[in-house]
Structure 1
Amino acid sequence: MATDTTADGARATAPVGTPTKVTQGSRTKGGIGESTLRPDGTLKVTGEFAYSSDMWHEDMLWGQILRSTVAHAEIVSLDTGEALATPGVYAVLTYDDLPTAVKNYGLEIQDTPVLAHGRVRHHGEPVAIVAADHPETARRAAAKIKVEYRELPVVTDEASATAPDAPLIHEGRDDHHIGHVAHPNIVHRQPIVRGDVEAARDRADFVVEGEYTFGMQDQAFLGPESGLAVPAEDGGVDLYVATQWLHSDLRQIAPVLGLPEDKVRMTLSGVGGAFGGREDLSMQIHACLLALRTGKPVKIVYNRFESFFGHVHRHPAKLHYEHGATKDGKLTHMKCRIVLDGGAYASASPAVVGNAASLAVGPYVLEDVDIEAIALYSNNPPCGAMRGFGAVQACFAYEAQMDKLADAVGMDRVEFRQLNAMSQGTLMPTGQPVDSPAPVAELLRRVKAMPMPPEQQWLAAGEAADVRQLPGGLSNTTHGEGVVRGVGYAVGIKNVGFSEGFDDYSTAKVRMEVVGGEPVATVHTAMAEVGQGGVTVHAQIARTELGVAQVTIQPADTQVGSAGSTSASRQTYVTGGAVKNACELVREKVLEIGRRKLGTYHPAWASAELLLEGGKVVTDGGEVLADLVDVLEDEAVEVEEEWRHRPTEAFDLRTGQGNGHVQYSFAAHRAVVEVDTELGLVKVIELACAQDVGKALNPLSVIGQIQGGTTQGLGIAVMEEIIVDPVTAKVRNPSFTDYLIPTILDTPTIPVDVLELADDHAPYGLRGIGEAPTLSSTPAVLAAIRNATGLDLNRTPVRPEHLTGMA
């Protein structure tokens, strides 16, 4: 590990809050700032890419999970005899078969049982697992397990969760949040209080309120949960799995198996999307248990139905907001209450609460605020991380409020936002200053200035209407009668990286050597490549810093230090920072070797500004001193380096004050929609976006991330929602037949205007980008639909019945 040691012996890594040095003048092709192509791109679009579900092993068994058919019930009896007697079945395991005293797991709170014990708390909870020699045999055997349930009252909302006689979802809670919540069925509560809201309300000329409902969204990744566990000769297990955070999985898996972490070796396999849904464990422990019990490799692959039960979803939310403004359009105060439904287990709910509360004001200047955010335990499906992570729900509400206030004051809706927009130096409601560019007003200006799509583009001159461009599309429901256009705007703020005092760091190992007569760099991290393009960026960083054309990216595994989670828009910032620092140390070591071997031939070797470019050692003036092949010859340089961003701190549990976040990202959207007012059908014509990315390390990937996030925001605006029965808490639509996601026919034109204002605290000045567009696209679409229809729409997703008065 290449680290320094301070005088007191403590380890020191990259200086906190100090920008790392950017190599200037690098001309190596494929470096930072270029649109390099993804190495996995062609394989994925042609169907040749190997995902975790494609893995195979000789003498492999198949695992299957039996899930609860009810949402809340006591398990009266559990009979596995008939399943065990099925030919081809090698093992059937229940809670009583777990090998250690550690039988629960969880990201922060270890409240999730590996297999249900005593009772089930949500529809689809794992009850037993089966290993057999064929997947169909495993499924038939699981169906033969007899479970007798005695159903219990279900908790489905805040009223039923906090009633005096409410069933406790987790009796005897002892986690560290229990001391500051009013009821055991509240996972976490975060207030944020600043200024004097009551006095500020008296100064307001206009006060608007709103009640908003945000639906439960699924990550809807294309590759269901899957993995392969292989028992090892040393008594350990090798797990090949699609995940977002290898080392977090390892921390939760090893204690349940009763193995030291070095005997649970994890390797990332091809991931078919994640968006937060793979932060929590799914089949990992189950596959390992079956492999260790049978002594054979075990593969588990969920079908789509199982996948809806096998991962967490986005928290549905109820939000109440109050805002005030003066007659000249200045915001006076904001008061809000956000209730997030976390479902049966905690998952990431505490962190989602912190994000929702601390970002509840949005990208606006407000000195007087009173915010409360809570997450509930319920018998609904567990909810946790999903792209946007608490800020999405808040943005939907506060942007609707901005439109209401602008209308009340009589101002243009964009100008009203610009008047109240934060900028660098603004204090967040937590008291933390925004110490990097916050171009909120400029992003709004840019997105408003983008050319509008033509009116009635579905009607060519002298021709019949092209129904493909109309609401309803090829269903041929209209030829333009009753179709109205609307335009809406929204802007959002999202934190980047883990917050509230979490020790957020990443590790990178970089090696440089001569292979086949050519200098080659190898980068090894535990970063989960889930489609965000980190494998491309890491190679670009290595080319830029080391001046070599050939860069090999090693498979991600737990044989190198943690890279943290591929979430919170943090990987390019944190793991990219680790790769950059490791490359800088490798470069210095290479130059030391060069000075030792060749430095006597040229006085410029004494310069501290030597660079590596195009496989050569050059001066800062471009003079070539040596070929890297001659410098390295039979030597190799390898460095493993951790990188931490500046520290954060927990929010005060009474006032919410504290420097809780590392960095913020901003995006603004303009939505143009056409609505068939008779049938309630919506066609989103365009979703234009302007976003500050700090530095576009790979412009092509940046555009792709913005367009992808925008499309997921569109989904929750007009179609995506997991429907949970309010009486039974059962999921009604666990399939892509009934849970709708945008297809290419639903996805509008998404022009993007990229702004690059460097954050001096971040490597290369970059800013995390993947989540911010998911925030503002949803309220922009809703604002456009309101503009078209005149309706006061206060929930997502908008359905036809909400537009035709039939809801």
Structure 2
Amino acid sequence: MTMGSRGTAGLPANITHLTQGARTRGGIGESTLRPDGTLKVTGEFAYSSDMWHEDMLWGQILRSPVAHAEIVSIDTAEALAVPGVYAVMTYDDLPTDVRHYGLEIQDTPVLAHGRVRHHGEPVAIVAADHPETARRAAARIRVGYRELPVITDEASATAPDAVLLHEDRTDHHAAHVPHPNILHRQPIVRGDVAEARRRADFVVEGEYVFGMQDQAFLGPESGLAVPAEDGGVDLYIATQWLHSDLRQIAPVLGLPPEKVRMTLAGVGGAFGGREDLSMQIHACLLALRTGKPIKIVYNRFESFFGHVHRHPATLRYEHGATRDGRLTHVKARIVLDGGAYASASPAVVGNASSLGVGPYVVDDVDIEALALYTNNPPCGAMRGFGAVQACFAYEAQMDRLADAVGMDRVEFRQLNAMSQGSVMPTGQVVDSPAPVAELLRRVKAMPLPPERQWESSEGVDVRQLPGGLSNTTHGEGVVRGIGYAVGIKNVGFSEGFDDYSTARVRMEVVGGEPVATVHTAMAEVGQGGVTVHAQIARTELGVTRVTIQPADTRVGSAGSTSASRQTYVTGGAVKHACELVRERVLELGRRKFGPYHPAWATAGLLLEGGKVVTDAGEALADLADVLGDEAVEIEREWRHRPTEPFDPRTGQGRGHVQYSFAAHRAVVEVDTELGLVKVIELACAQDVGKALNPLSVIGQIQGGTTQGLGIAVMEEIVVDPRTAKVRNPSFTDYLIPTILDTPTMPVDVLELADDHAPYGLRGIGEAPTLSSTPAVLAAIRDATGLELNRTPVRPEHLTGTDTGT
């Protein structure tokens, strides 16, 4: 890892003393270790699937075996007759008139009613005293289906005689779309593309296909619902947003929110796949029906049907440039397949359209992005959130246009790169550092790995060859390729969403030592937020001991662990609450020790190492003496700068709060005869604003890079276009990168502070997922000379039988 200089932007003056003057160990800027790290790598960490209650029952979900059908009948008699079965519930057994839920649009039925709209849709739920009993009983539920024609693409969705997936749509998006099977549409129009095209000396066009990706998190969906004496329910769940779940669950149960108490259980990864509900409502319904705790744990097969996936997409682009390499215009149409239900599709469309040009300066833009309702699996949030699909296409276009102009591909990007002060196609001015050209320079300057490194005196190391340990090649036809890409990703929720977080901070003396306690509803899904929150408390409050309370709904919402927002927004809330606690503690000290310490009346007091000190380092009092038997506790909400909705006709508006940037260089070796690819290296340069925990920063960048590698060369949920059924719902057939597929990943971290963000930080986790995929594709194109306009690249695309178009 290389930690780059802070550059001319520097750090905001008001936080200099926090990063340079604080002496408490384990604070901001240090690579402190994760409190849950040892437990996770030794297998001792308790995940949601490990929960147990002595008298609990097991829940099971019956799912539709077809993608689109009318439900003619449901007979539960055989299932209820199975010994050990306590309850069977269908749509007609739901306790209230609120029987649908959804993140933005409440179009998803708790259990299917009237018809099923996708393969694997929940139809009925069962509670039994053993998981196998519950599965056998679910299999005995007799459901009569009358299959209907499936809608699988734009042509079938918008045909004049197309079946409407949701006939009674009344949501606010309906007026902005030309067909009821189009879920959402967002144009971005700026300048005059037709006139700009006439000025262009070179024009390139391309059509790109992006496959459906699964989040493939470690721990399948699971949770435990326990009925309470007050008629409510306690739910222990692995999720990304406790309060969003609560907002959707309580109305279905007919309970006030205060009677649905939610606690975050151990989460085995998320990447967007836990933003939507899975088994939460089902477990609570069965617990309230039976009066017993209900545990539900999906197996991997069920998990593929139990959460949303990344939107597959078809993208058509046109780019123009002058002879000297300046971009003239970009015209694009991005069609995202949202599947059967809305989930986060409207927001994904907003990101794909508003970021669809990439980190480049273009005055004339015409982009249309839309999401379809189809009978394919529902799609929603996944790391990169719409910007990933667009980056794959626009970066391929930038390579093609550079070649047409006759320029070096990196230099062409640098010539057109945005910087601070540039104007986005939405009209928004980029008012924080945007070091796009510098990131490209840095990643290009990294040393290249040696060629044909498997050729040594010790003989061939097959692990270094395409095909790996399967030893399918010895390198005779292996060709090297190098590719570059850069991307732009928004940070935080956008388009006018009230994006805030809440933190409760308490400071007291325990065992003679000052201790800080931090309580938020932030979902720790593996990103390391609990580590950063403790670092913030140590920095702001000058204590060594920090306790992080379990996340639950007893404290205000922290928003979702997504959009690279938690360190920014919940970290900002923790910082804000700590500052208020610090001021109250200092005021307490002034009252207690004023007669003895004149410095109490002066400015510049800090809390460091368990003491109150002046900013010059003069110790005044121990915090334990200041606090005594008193405790100081404050809970506050914190918001970043407001955003605004994009205009529905032009897409103009200040829609995003912050942007993040990453650049990649991929080095691949391809056996062109066998169609095998080995990614040797994925080097990354990224601006992180401020590395609050450098070790975690590198982990986030390398993790995002690996997911981008997966979509480039192996990951795709395959859906039969005739039946809309998923063909590969297992890790046997859905491939994800293992340690043997993961290349060397050198990282160059640049720190250019965003003056509007806490500590100057910038969201990190998503940006590397964008640029890693097109960099790998560019390197494979460089090695093979093939066009390769789809992801993932398969062997048949490389052997001359299929170019992937």
Q: Tell me the TM-score range normalised by the shorter chain.
A: over 0.9
The one-character-per-residue Cα deviations of 1:622-661 (angstroms, maximum 9, x if unpaired) are: 0000000100010000000110001000000110000000
Aligned match of 2:341: 345
Aligned match of 1:27: 23
Aligned match of 1:616: 611
Matched to 2:428, the amino acid is Q
Shift of 1:19: 9.5
User: Does the aligned pair in 2 maintain the 1:93–1:128 contact within 8 Å?
Assistant: yes
Q: Distance in 1 between matches of 2:280 and 2:17?
A: 41
Matched to 2:395, the amino acid is E
Shift of 1:148: 0.8
Aligned match of 2:225: 229
> Does 1:95 pair with 2:95?
no
Q: Distance in 2 between matches of 1:789 and 1:181?
A: 41
Aligned match of 2:188: 192
Q: Distance in 2 between matches of 1:20 and 1:263?
A: 43
Shift of 1:58: 1.3
The one-character-per-residue Cα deviations of 1:466-506 (angstroms, maximum 9, x if unpaired) are: 11100001111111110000000000000000000000000
> Does 1:399 pair with 2:430?
no
Matched to 1:774, the amino acid is T
Aligned match of 2:523: 528
Q: Distance in 2 between matches of 1:635 and 1:602?
A: 20
User: Which of 697, 701, 704 is matched with 2:696 structurally?
Assistant: 701
Matched to 2:797, the amino acid is H
Equivalent positions of 1:64-83 (< 5 A) are: 64-83=60-79
User: Which of 144, 151, 154 is matched with 1:155 structurally?
Assistant: 151
> Does 1:650 pair with 2:650?
no
> Does 1:736 pair with 2:722?
no
Shift of 1:608: 2.0
TM-score under structure 2 normalisation? 0.98
Q: Distance in 1 between matches of 2:343 and 2:17?
A: 41
Equivalent positions of 1:670-689 (< 5 A) are: 670-689=665-684
> Does 1:537 pair with 2:532?
yes
Q: Distance in 1 between matches of 2:323 and 2:503?
A: 55
Q: Distance in 2 between matches of 1:805 and 1:281?
A: 44
Aligned match of 2:178: 182
The one-character-per-residue Cα deviations of 1:715-749 (angstroms, maximum 9, x if unpaired) are: 00000000000000000000000000000000000
> Does 1:503 pair with 2:468?
no
Equivalent positions of 1:431-580 (< 5 A) are: 431-460=427-456, 462-580=457-575
Q: Distance in 2 between matches of 1:529 and 1:505?
A: 17
> Does 1:804 pair with 2:799?
yes
Aligned match of 2:6: none
Q: Distance in 1 between matches of 2:15 and 2:579?
A: 9
Q: Distance in 2 between matches of 1:799 and 1:617?
A: 62
User: Does the aligned pair in 2 maintain the 1:19–1:762 contact within 8 Å?
Assistant: no
User: Which of 727, 747, 754 is matched with 2:742 structurally?
Assistant: 747
The one-character-per-residue Cα deviations of 1:596-642 (angstroms, maximum 9, x if unpaired) are: 11121021111121000000000010000000010001000000011
TM-score under structure 1 normalisation? 0.97
User: Does the aligned pair in 2 maintain the 1:282–1:310 contact within 8 Å?
Assistant: yes
Matched to 1:478, the amino acid is T
User: Does the aligned pair in 2 maintain the 1:216–1:315 contact within 8 Å?
Assistant: yes
User: Does the aligned pair in 2 maintain the 1:19–1:761 contact within 8 Å?
Assistant: no
Aligned match of 1:607: 602
Aligned match of 1:6: none
Q: Distance in 2 between matches of 1:535 and 1:396?
A: 33
The one-character-per-residue Cα deviations of 1:328-387 (angstroms, maximum 9, x if unpaired) are: 100000000000000000000000000000000000000000000000000000000000
Q: Distance in 2 between matches of 1:238 and 1:466?
A: 54
Shift of 1:21: 5.1
Matched to 1:663, the amino acid is Q
Q: Distance in 1 between matches of 2:455 and 2:87?
A: 64
The one-character-per-residue Cα deviations of 1:264-303 (angstroms, maximum 9, x if unpaired) are: 0000000000000000000000000000000000000000
Superposed CA RMSD in Å reads: 0.8
Q: Distance in 1 between matches of 2:602 and 2:424?
A: 45
> Does 1:664 pair with 2:664?
no
Aligned match of 2:708: 713
Shift of 1:463: 3.9
Question: 3-state DSSP class of the match of 2:595?
Answer: helix
User: Does the aligned pair in 2 maintain the 1:534–1:572 contact within 8 Å?
Assistant: yes
Task: Report the identity percentage.
Answer: 89
Aligned match of 1:14: none
Structure 1 runs, 4 residues or longer, greater than 2 Å off: 18-24
Aligned match of 2:283: 287
Q: Distance in 2 between matches of 1:320 and 1:473?
A: 35
Question: 3-state DSSP class of the match of 2:572?
Answer: helix
Q: Distance in 1 between matches of 2:756 and 2:13?
A: 5
Question: 3-state DSSP class of the match of 1:418?
Answer: helix
Aligned match of 1:15: none
Q: Distance in 2 between matches of 1:725 and 1:22?
A: 57
User: Does the aligned pair in 2 maintain the 1:19–1:763 contact within 8 Å?
Assistant: no
Aligned match of 1:790: 785
Equivalent positions of 1:412-427 (< 5 A) are: 412-427=408-423
User: Does the aligned pair in 2 maintain the 1:19–1:760 contact within 8 Å?
Assistant: no
Matched to 2:38, the amino acid is T
Q: Distance in 2 between matches of 1:21 and 1:582?
A: 16
Aligned match of 2:577: 582
Q: Distance in 2 between matches of 1:457 and 1:530?
A: 38
User: Does the aligned pair in 2 maintain the 1:486–1:673 contact within 8 Å?
Assistant: yes
Aligned match of 1:408: 404
User: Which of 16, 38, 47 is matched with 2:43 structurally?
Assistant: 47
Q: Distance in 2 between matches of 1:148 and 1:558?
A: 41
Structure 2 vs 1, CA of residues 673 and 667 (structure 1 numbering), >3 Å: closer, same or farther?
A: same
User: Does the aligned pair in 2 maintain the 1:20–1:763 contact within 8 Å?
Assistant: no
Q: Distance in 2 between matches of 1:19 and 1:188?
A: 43
> Does 1:322 pair with 2:318?
yes
> Does 1:173 pair with 2:154?
no
Aligned match of 2:254: 258
Shift of 1:47: 0.5
Which stretch shows the higher mean deviation, 467-476 or 113-122?
467-476
User: Does the aligned pair in 2 maintain the 1:465–1:480 contact within 8 Å?
Assistant: no
Matched to 2:331, the amino acid is K
Q: Distance in 2 between matches of 1:769 and 1:701?
A: 10
User: Does the aligned pair in 2 maintain the 1:520–1:552 contact within 8 Å?
Assistant: yes
Structure 2 vs 1, CA of residues 57 and 607 (structure 1 numbering), >3 Å: closer, same or farther?
A: same
Aligned residues: 789
Shift of 1:464: 2.4
Question: 3-state DSSP class of the match of 1:601?
Answer: coil
Q: Distance in 2 between matches of 1:640 and 1:335?
A: 48
User: Does the aligned pair in 2 maintain the 1:187–1:376 contact within 8 Å?
Assistant: yes
User: Which of 297, 300, 303 is matched with 2:296 structurally?
Assistant: 300
Question: 3-state DSSP class of the match of 1:372?
Answer: strand
The one-character-per-residue Cα deviations of 1:552-592 (angstroms, maximum 9, x if unpaired) are: 00000000000000000000000000000000000000001
Equivalent positions of 1:369-384 (< 5 A) are: 369-384=365-380
User: Does the aligned pair in 2 maintain the 1:52–1:240 contact within 8 Å?
Assistant: yes
User: Does the aligned pair in 2 maintain the 1:342–1:383 contact within 8 Å?
Assistant: yes
The one-character-per-residue Cα deviations of 1:433-460 (angstroms, maximum 9, x if unpaired) are: 0000000000000000001001111111
Matched to 1:760, the amino acid is D
Q: Distance in 2 between matches of 1:19 and 1:349?
A: 40
Q: Distance in 1 between matches of 2:166 and 2:23?
A: 59
Q: Distance in 2 between matches of 1:801 and 1:599?
A: 79
- Name structure 2 gaps, 5 residues minimum: 1-11
The one-character-per-residue Cα deviations of 1:703-726 (angstroms, maximum 9, x if unpaired) are: 000000000000000000000000
Matched to 1:770, the amino acid is G
